Amino acid sequence: MSQFITVQVGQCGNQIGSAFWPLALHEYGIQTTSGGVNLLKVQRNHVKHISDLSDAFPSFFHVPVKTDNLYFENVADLSKAKVKARALLIDMEDSVVSRFKQGPLRQLFDQTCIVTNYPGSGNNWAIGYHVHGREYHDRIEESIRHMVEKCDRLHGFLLMHSLGGGTGSGLGTATLKLLKDYYSHVERIVSCIYPANIQDTVTAPYNTLLATQELIEHATCVFPVENKALLDICNSQMNKRENTNQINYNASCKPFQDMNSIIANMLLHLTSGSRFPGSLNMDMNEVATNLVPYPQLHYIFSSVSPITLSAPNMCTMQEPKLQDELFTNAWSRNNQLIKLDPLQSTSVILAAAHIARGNTTLTDIKRNVERFQNKSKFTSWSRDCMKIGLCSIPPAGHSSSLLCLLNSSTMSLLFKDVIQEFSKLYRKKAHIHHYTQVHGFEETQFIESKENILHLSECYAEIQNMKETNISRLQVI
């Protein structure tokens, strides 16, 4: 089974992590909290797949003792076996990471893999990237090497951070660059939070711009997420009354926790093909091959369906119809993790991947991909750029679910937004001195980043308006 190292940077990144690890454990059938809803009860069928699940246990966790039986029942079992999460926790303040240190999962994290500092990066990308990046370079490098050495088949790094603040965006992208320098052949999957409009910090537009530039340069694939989109998804789930488990769950959870678990679910689904068997495997490295037609156009729309944490107990619909609805939901703009519609009429799809888990059959996928091809617009070459994956292990609590990844030219709107927000602030040269006084940062970096991002969004526009060329096929003489 392929293995992944999770790198969570900054407050936001670590909060996503705190939602990620309990859910990852649930997927393997381990209950983490004593109170609240017993998610395991919800997950009725995990026993059926127990051997496949425990086979895949090392993909996120390191088990030091060589045993054949990788089946654990609770957290106590985990700490007895000295199981460690393959995770690197980086934060420049202590608060969130220390919550990890006290939580029920504290045994799961290796002390050497926690990098903290005080005080934080002051919402300043330049401090995060240049000051902390330089200062902690060796420390982070060592921690990562430490973890990489424990992997026998490392497959990818999963980075989680936000772009608005200083630590996540600055040190996060510095770590990304470090990973690229040292482990260039390993996939770097980034799932990052875009602040988008509702800004909690003044300098967010600067940080976002500078970090975006780094992500374009160094990541293999980026799955952008917007808080607003998550909030809308959560709100619409709250109002649904059909599902008692969900209501109980809603009642017991914290708002950020719930939003972050959407991201966690997406990441679990994304890696499922690499972890579990299926009749049409989809490995992580296939994501980039299939979805990135041109270099640097690796910003991918993602949506999971169903988005709820558990399925309704009663289901009256027939299986094929249920499957169709699953697909329709995944294409809907309400389920996208950013507030853009990848299928809007003016944009084109560059590539798409549908990864199904559970009892979806090839026929279901075939029918629905053909439906998708009829409803969306493509460039002249991308109609067949479809990837399908079938993983036989359903996610916790469901009988089947679908992850839809789209590379759409709509993404240029995100970049335009980033530039617009940046220009608004930069026109008045506000707060620039915070950045320029940092050693290693040049003001030209602002302009260069802006140019680069502008260029990228022009690339999308170019593809959107691509004209059919008439180069005939090779002639046989």
- Residue ranges that bind another protein, judged by CB under 8 A: 1-2, 55, 153, 155, 274, 276-277, 279-281, 283-286, 288-295, 320, 351, 353, 361-364, 366, 369-370, 373, 379-388, 390, 466, 469, 471, 473-476
Nearer to another protein, 115 or 284 (CB): 284
**Measured distance CA(312)–CA(309) in Å, rounded:** 10
**Measured distance CA(398)–CA(322) in Å, rounded:** 12
Decide: 116 and 91 in contact? Cβ < 8 Å.
yes
Q: What are phi and psi of 402, to 5 degrees?
A: -135, 135
| Helix or strand run (H / E) with residue 401 | strand 400-408
Nearer to another protein, 130 or 298 (CB): 298
Q: In angstroms, what is the minimal distance from the CB of 399 to another protein?
A: 15
Nearest Cα residue to 133 out of 108, 166, 159, 99: 166
E-strand ranges in 108-175 read 114-116, 154-162
**CB-based burial, 8-20: b 16+ in 10 Å, e otherwise:** bbbbbbbbbbbbb
Beta partners for 116?
91
Q: In angstroms, what is the minimal distance from the CB of 89 to another protein?
A: 25
Collapsed DSSP state (helix, strand, coil) of residue 124: coil
Nearest Cα residue to 4 out of 265, 188, 182: 188
Nearer to another protein, 111 or 469 (CB): 469
Look-up of token digits 């991918």: 300
Q: In angstroms, what is the minimal distance from the CB of 463 to another protein?
A: 9
Nearer to another protein, 25 or 186 (CB): 186
Nearest Cα residue to 9 out of 146, 204, 182, 140: 140
Q: In angstroms, what is the minimal distance from the CB of 454 to another protein?
A: 21
Nearer to another protein, 38 or 289 (CB): 289
Collapsed DSSP state (helix, strand, coil) of residue 387: strand
Q: In angstroms, what is the minimal distance from the CB of 53 to another protein?
A: 13
Running DSSP on this structure, what letter comes out for residue 445?
Answer: H
Nearer to another protein, 133 or 273 (CB): 273
Q: In angstroms, what is the minimal distance from the CB of 459 to another protein?
A: 13
**Measured distance CA(392)–CA(279) in Å, rounded:** 7
Q: In angstroms, what is the minimal distance from the CB of 284 to another protein?
A: 7
Nearer to another protein, 246 or 290 (CB): 290
Residues in the chain: 477
* Pair of tokens at residue 284: 């992580």
Nearer to another protein, 232 or 286 (CB): 286
Q: In angstroms, what is the minimal distance from the CB of 179 to another protein?
A: 16
Q: In angstroms, what is the minimal distance from the CB of 30 to another protein?
A: 22
**Measured distance CA(453)–CA(458) in Å, rounded:** 9
Nearest Cα residue to 424 out of 205, 260, 258, 243: 205
Nearer to another protein, 47 or 362 (CB): 362
